[in-house]
Structure formats: C-alpha cells, structure tokens
C-alpha cells in the first residue's frame, strides 16, 4: 500500500495552491504504483504535512513517499520537511515514510527550462 | 543577439544560489540560440534582475528572454519579476525583453516529478 504525498511550499495566493492540487490530479493519470496521490503544504495552505501523512495512514498506507515540490535544496527541503515528518514517523513507526529527491534535482530540468525559454522567441 | 536570463528567487543559503548558477552553466551545453546565458535573483542573492539585464545589454544584447525559475504563478512571477524588468525596459527601449512561461507551467513537470518519486521506492 504505497502512497505518494507531494509537498509544496504553500502560498497566500489560492490559485498557486490550486496549481499544486491540479498537478496531483494529473499525476494520477500517469502510470504509477501508488494507491493514492495527494498533496500537502509546508506553510500557508492546508493540509499541513502531518495532516497529509495522517490522512494517508488512516487510509491504510503502509509506505509513503514524500515528494518535495521544490527547486532547490534550501532549508525547507533539508530541514523543515524532515522536521515535519519526524513526529508522524514516531507516532506511526509501522509506516515506512521516505523522502524522494526534490524536483530541482532532476536531470531533465535544464532541458525543460530551455524549452520554456524558446517559447518566448518562437 | 538573443540572450537568456534565468531568474530564480534567491536564498540565504549560498549553496542554493550556486545550484542555479550551475544550472545556467549546464544550459549552455544544450543546443540553443542564445549568445549568452546568465542568471539573476529576485532577492537575497546577486546579481539582481536589473543588474543581470544591464550586464547583458552592456554585452550587446538586442533581445533578452527572462526565464522565471519558479514552480507556481505566485506574486513573484505575476508581479515582482515584471516590476523589476520595467525600469530597464524604459531605460533601454531598443532592447526587446520578453518573459518566458515560468518553469512550473511546463507540461513535463508531472512526469519528472513521478520519476523522482519512484527513485524513493526503487
């Protein structure tokens, strides 16, 4: 029972948070091994990371991958997200919770960025 | 004389800013129409966006594409980056400055995100 929790920063701007929610819905269309895919926010939006994790656990998750939807390995990725996860790990030690590499670590980011840049001159 | 300026948020953490600088170096390895590719930061790091633009203009740029290295269309993308660019446009009206779609708007983001998530369970 693998579940995926996409974690974004969260914004005061509702439309930005909705972009993340829409992305999570789109992920479900891709071939993937996850029983459920949902999102959570580090701050400024709901659900929080602990709330998101607890909802998946209540839904039967035995393994959860937390995917940081961040571009750089700043404090949020290296410290804040692990700190939000830790109490849930202690409360539910039977659930395996792992953190995937953050989005910006993906090798393909450069190519996508170049494609987006070319759209401005075509 | 097309130039590309990748604009990131900027971080107090030097390593995060260096990630962006490294990415810009990697972009130069890709097939692309840009004479020069450099980066600038909205805040917390240097060069600023006006400094980055002015350096490209001093270098002979007649057309500059600003590429927002951001995941969501928040205030930074919709208001702050255009506001930083506007005075440079007025100072150098002979230079065409356009803003590319922000990174998070790319269709392939979902697929990349899923690939990163799978790395946590493989």
Is A16 close to B103, i.e. CB distance below 8 A?
no
**Number of domains observed in the structure of chain A:** 1
Please report the number of interchain residue pairs, chain A to chain B, with beta-carbon separation below 8 angstroms: 143
Helix (H) or strand (E) holding A65: strand A63-68
- CATH number of the domain that A98 lies in? 3.40.50.1400
**Measured between beta carbons, which residues in chain A are less than 8 angstroms from residue B19?**
72-73, 104
What global pTM score does this model have? 0.90
**Smallest Cβ distance to A113: which of B16, B33, B67?**
B67
Q: Where are the beta strands (DSSP E) in chain B?
A: 2-8, 36-41, 63-68, 96-99
pLDDT tens string B55-105: 999 999 999 999 999 998 888 999 999 999 999 999 999 999 999 999 999
Main-chain phi, psi angles of B49, to 5 degrees: -65, -50
**Quick one: pLDDT band at residue B13, thresholds 50, 70, 90?**
confident
Domain range enclosing B40: 2-119
For residue A122, pLDDT over 80 is answered with no
pLDDT value for A10: 93
Between CA A16 and CA B102 the distance in angstroms is 13
pLDDT of residue B67: 97
pLDDT > 70 fraction of chain A, expressed in percent and rounded: 99
Inter-chain touch A100–B116, beta carbons under 8 Å: yes
What is the ipTM for the molecules in this complex? 0.91
Which residues, in sequence order, are CB contacts of A20 under 8 Å at separation 6+? A6, A8, A39, A41, A69, B72
The answer, yes or no, to whether residue B122 has pLDDT greater than 80, is no
């Amino acid at each position: 029972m693998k579940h995926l929790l996409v974690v974004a920063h969260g914004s005061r701007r509702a439309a930005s948070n909705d972009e993340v929610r829409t992305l999570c819905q789109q992920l479900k269309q891709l071939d993937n091994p996850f029983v459920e895919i949902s999102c959570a926010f580090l701050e400024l939006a709901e659900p929080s990371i602990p709330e998101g994790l607890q909802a998946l656990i209540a839904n039967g998750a035995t393994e959860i991958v937390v995917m940081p939807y961040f571009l750089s390995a700043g404090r949020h990725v290296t410290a804040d997200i692990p700190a939000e996860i830790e109490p849930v790990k202690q409360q539910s030690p039977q659930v395996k919770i792992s953190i995937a590499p953050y989005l910006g670590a993906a090798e393909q980011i450069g190519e996508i960025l170049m494609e987006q840049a070319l759209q401005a001159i075509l």
